[in-house]
């Protein structure tokens, strides 16, 4: 998501807030000071309203009011001290939703006679330039190179965990006694860690959209899963067969798999890992900000 001049204008026209600096907007709604930050790299907006006192009854009532008017998929409500924070994902109609949620919150606070806290407003007003009108900077361009680097780095913990698991499982019997039936190892579930790391690594370092991050990180995830699965078997043969270097074991893994009747075992494990990875990507993309937590 990029913050273009047309999007800024839409936010201003819809919410009635002022664009005070780059991705920050502020203003009043029902006499309550509202502060909005558009986080383009996370494809979401943060809505903040601070009051003088926020008791448990008010929190519960506000949560109930929003839940009755909006789907939980379209917002997350958090409380920090006397501050109300709403995370709004930038999906369909998100700008209009900022205004609607703001109206719901301030109307509820007003009906409950909750006083506003003007501390934030004074701080923000001091930062508003008094001379030239605000000039909207060009949005940062996504960096595919940094995203690819982040994707590889993000996948490494899962790759290491997979390799350590293959060593700890002591699968030497598969080579020493090939007549023993082989089962698919549970380490294929580590594809979840590889997939999450690869996806989030690309998303965070590239500054690209979630869809673009999923498309570009998926091939890297496929490569990393294939590599660690192949290398794990190569290391298995290297440690259990005499006079064999690790390089030769890696290059001749297919031949050894055939000799020890492990080819089907190898490909089924890889297929399961890819299916798990696909499911992980699906959940990551579909659930979006539903389970995101804001870091302060």
CATH number at residue 18: 3.30.1460.10
| Residues 158 and 105 both lie in one domain | no
What would the 3-class secondary structure string for 258-287 be?
HHCCCHHHHHHHHHHHHHHHHHHHHHHHHH
Q: Give the tens place of pLDDT for each residue, 145-165.
A: 899 999 999 999 999 998 888
Given a cut of 80, is residue 1 above it in pLDDT? no
Residue 113 pLDDT > 50, yes or no?
Answer: yes
pLDDT of residue 135: 40
Q: Same domain for 122 and 184?
A: no
**Shared-domain flag, residues 173 and 62:** no
Measured CA to CA, the distance from residue 155 to residue 201 in angstroms comes to: 8
pLDDT for 177 beyond 90: no
In a domain, 31, yes or no: yes
pTM score over 0.85: no
Based on the structure, what is the number of domains in the chain?
A: 2
233: in domain: yes
- Are 163 and 87 members of one domain? no
Structure tokens at 134: 């605000």
Phi, psi of 199 (to 5 degrees): -65, -50
Query: How far is residue 107's CA from residue 128's CA, in Å, rounded to a whole number?
Result: 27
pLDDT at 140: 58
Q: What is the mean pLDDT of residues 220-235?
A: 93
Residue 191 φ then ψ, to 5° = -60, -25
Same-domain check for residues 153 and 15: no
- List the structure tokens of 25: 């907007």
Calculate what percentage of the chain has a pLDDT beyond 70: 82
241 and 200 fall within a common domain:
yes
Tell whether 138 is covered by a domain.
no
According to the model, what pLDDT value does residue 136 have? Answer: 45
Given 127, 152, 167, the domain boundary residue is: 127
- Do 121 and 150 lie in one domain? The reply is no
139 assigned to some structural domain? no
Q: Are residues 152 and 284 in the same domain?
A: yes
Which residue stretches of 112-172 are H helix? 119-127, 144-168
Q: Looking at the predicted structure, is the pLDDT value of residue 283 above 70?
A: yes
Interatomic CA distance for residues 109 and 121, integer angstroms: 17
Q: Report d(CA 40, CA 17) in Å as an integer.
A: 18
Distance, CA of 50 to CA of 143 (rounded, Å): 36
Report if residue 176 sits inside a domain.
yes
Q: What is the pLDDT of residue 139?
A: 53
Same domain, 150 and 282: yes
CA 236 – CA 246 distance, rounded (Å)? 10
Strand order in the sheet with 83-89: 18-21, 24-29, 32-39, 44-50, 83-89, 76-80
Same domain for 49 and 183? Answer: no
Q: Which domain holds residue 227?
A: 144-291
The residue among 127, 152, 185 that closes a domain is: 127
For residues 208 and 272, which has the higher predicted lDDT (pLDDT)? Answer: 272
Contact predicate 153/225, CB 8 Å: no
Q: Is residue 132 in a domain?
A: no
The H-or-E segment that residue 79 falls in is strand 76-80
By the 8 A CB rule, do 217 and 170 touch?
A: no
In-domain check, residue 133 = no
Domain ends where: 76, 95, 127? 127
Whole-angstrom distance, CA of residue 85 vs CA of residue 49: 7
Q: Please name which of 71, 91, 74 lies closest in space to residue 1, comparing C-alpha atoms.
A: 91
Does residue 87 sit in the same domain as residue 153?
Answer: no
Q: What is the C-alpha separation between 253 and 230, in angstroms, rounded?
A: 7
Are 255 and 202 contained in the same domain?
yes
Q: Are 13 and 64 in contact (CB under 8 A)?
A: no
Q: Is residue 192 part of a domain?
A: yes
């Amino acid at each position: 998501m990029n913050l273009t001049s047309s999007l800024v204008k839409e936010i201003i026209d819809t919410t009635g807030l002022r664009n005070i600096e780059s991705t920050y907007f502020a203003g009043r709604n029902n006499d309550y000071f509202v502060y909005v930050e558009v986080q383009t790299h996370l494809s979401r907006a943060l809505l903040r309203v601070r009051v003088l006192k926020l008791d448990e009854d008010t929190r519960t009532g506000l949560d109930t009011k929003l839940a009755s008017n909006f789907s939980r998929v379209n917002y997350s409500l958090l409380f920090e001290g006397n501050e109300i924070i709403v995370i709004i994902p930038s999906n369909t109609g998100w700008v209009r939703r900022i205004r609607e949620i703001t109206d719901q919150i301030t109307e509820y606070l007003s009906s409950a006679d909750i006083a506003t806290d003007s501390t934030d407003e004074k701080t923000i007003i001091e930062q508003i330039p008094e001379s030239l009108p605000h000039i909207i900077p060009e949005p940062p361009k996504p960096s595919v190179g940094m995203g690819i680097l982040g994707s590889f780095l993000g996948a490494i913990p899962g790759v290491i965990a997979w390799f350590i698991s293959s060593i700890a499982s002591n699968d030497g019997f598969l080579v020493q006694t090939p007549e023993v039936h082989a089962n698919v190892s549970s380490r294929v579930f580590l594809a979840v860690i590889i997939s999450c790391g690869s996806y989030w690594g690309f998303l965070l370092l590239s500054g690209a959209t979630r869809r673009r991050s999923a498309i570009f990180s998926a091939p890297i995830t496929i490569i990393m899963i294939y590599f660690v699965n192949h290398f794990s078997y190569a290391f298995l043969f290297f440690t259990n067969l005499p006079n064999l270097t690790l390089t030769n074991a890696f290059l001749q893994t297919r031949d050894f798999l055939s000799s020890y009747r492990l080819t089907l075992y190898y490909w089924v494990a890889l297929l399961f890992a890819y299916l798990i990875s696909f499911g992980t990507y699906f959940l990551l993309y579909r659930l979006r900000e539903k389970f995101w937590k804001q870091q302060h």
